């Protein structure tokens, strides 16, 4: 098992695919003056565990690997960090592929996913 030399604890292989959370856009103020400002932008990121799609999250993209692990742990889909072999983010495919140590996905997959609550907010104009 790979150890994080700084902490001495297990750490799976993880990409370092974080994004800058803001990007420049042209804006026009109330006086008609054009200027560049930075705004936040969200990106979809689909979590796959051993090739099986779990959920698509919206993220600023700063720490996508940690977001994926945090989601899996928070939803009690994994018991321990030692269950994870690798976390690989691919922004071109808008996905994060998580490989478990045993390669057989999440134990009691159907039962755990049936209890999920998915919240979606949409603005109606």
User: Does residue 125 fall inside a structural domain?
Assistant: no
Domain boundaries, position 93: 42-118
Return per-residue pLDDT of the chain as tens, 125 residues.
Answer: 566 656 778 899 999 999 999 999 999 999 999 999 999 999 999 999 999 999 999 999 999 999 999 999 998 888 889 999 999 999 999 999 999 988 776 767 667 666 655 555 444 44
* Number of independent structural domains in the chain: 1
- State the Rg of the chain over Cα: 18
pTM: 0.77
Question: What CATH number does the domain containing 58 carry?
Answer: 3.10.20.10
Query: In 3-state terms, the chain is what percent helix, strand and coil (to 5)?
Result: 15, 35, 45
Q: Are 75 and 98 in contact (CB under 8 A)?
A: no
Phi then psi for residue 71, to 5 deg, are -60, -50
């Amino acid at each position: 098992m790979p150890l994080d030399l700084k902490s001495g604890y297990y750490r799976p292989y993880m990409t370092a695919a974080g994004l800058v959370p803001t990007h420049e856009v042209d804006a026009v103020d109330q006086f008609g003056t054009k200027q560049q400002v930075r705004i936040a932008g969200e990106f979809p990121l689909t979590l796959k565990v051993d090739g099986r799609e779990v959920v698509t999250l919206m993220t600023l993209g700063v720490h996508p690997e940690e977001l994926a692990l945090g989601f899996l742990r928070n939803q009690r889909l994994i018991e321990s960090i030692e269950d994870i072999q690798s976390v690989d983010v691919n922004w071109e495919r808008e996905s994060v592929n998580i490989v478990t140590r045993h390669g057989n996905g999440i134990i009691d997959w159907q039962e755990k996913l049936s209890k999920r609550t998915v919240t979606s907010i949409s603005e109606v104009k």
